[in-house]
A and B are shown apart, each in its own frame.
Chain A
């Protein structure tokens, strides 16, 4: 059973960089042709896909985030990470990591989510 767990600071100051890590267990992050994604959800609102990475390192991002996003992978640690720079209050949300994000491979395993608040 694949499990994902987000970790990182729960409070980030405006204009700084939000950094989160997702640790994958119960399966290799580099096995198969899976993508690994980040998705976020502001309180009381819907879901927004942030971006994805393949174990090869190939990435795709949501253009709505205007180039502020970087997703990386460390297969030796079975982790992938999210960096979102120049954050504002609008980036306050629950951030989820998930396996999936391909046409025929939807988001089938999710982390529990981590609340990140942007505030001074």
Chain B
């Protein structure tokens, strides 16, 4: 199985801050990397697919990129509704696997 390692596991930030979450797969996954946002008691929501393709309706402050073997999710100006847990997921090899999650909390 491909292991997906996210960092950090949690972070505290203020409204207006820019935050970056990193995801590192245990092997190459080409561009088959997706990002999800999950709020307490809710199902995950697909934010970004294929590294950087923003889903319809997702604010442009969310962006995804790749650098070397790492993938990053950036939220450019954190809004109150962005406080949530974020997961990366690879869709390169079955079984599809998720990162352990990064909880973004209010400072």
Interface residues of A (CB under 8 A from B): 37, 46-49, 60-64, 96, 98, 101-104, 106-108, 110-113
Contacts and interface: CB of A to CB of B under 8 A. Distances in A.
Interface string B31-63: 010101000001111100110000100000000
Given A60-B95, A106-B34, A108-B55, 10 more contacts: A37-B96, A46-B87, A46-B99, A47-B36, A47-B98, A101-B91, A103-B91, A104-B32, A104-B91, A108-B49
Given A46-B99, A60-B94, A107 B32 contact: no
Contact of A47 (B42, B87, B91): B87
Nearest to A50: B95
Contacts of B44: 47, 96, 107, 110
Contacts of B97: 49
Interface residues of B, number: 24
Nearest to B94: A60
B25 interface: no
A106 B89 contact: yes
Given A103-B92, A106-B89, A46 B98 contact: yes
Contacts of A103: 32, 91-92
B43 A63 contact: no
Given A62-B95, A106-B34, A112 B49 contact: no
14 contacts: A46-B87, A46-B98, A47-B36, A47-B89, A48-B98, A49-B96, A49-B98, A63-B95, A101-B96, A106-B89, A107-B34, A107-B36, A110-B43, A112-B42
Interface of B: 1, 32, 34, 36, 42-46, 49-50, 55, 87, 89, 91-92, 94-101
Contacts of A63: 1, 95
A13 B97 CA distance: 28
Given A47-B87, A102-B91, A108 B46 contact: yes
Contacts of B43: 96, 98, 110-113
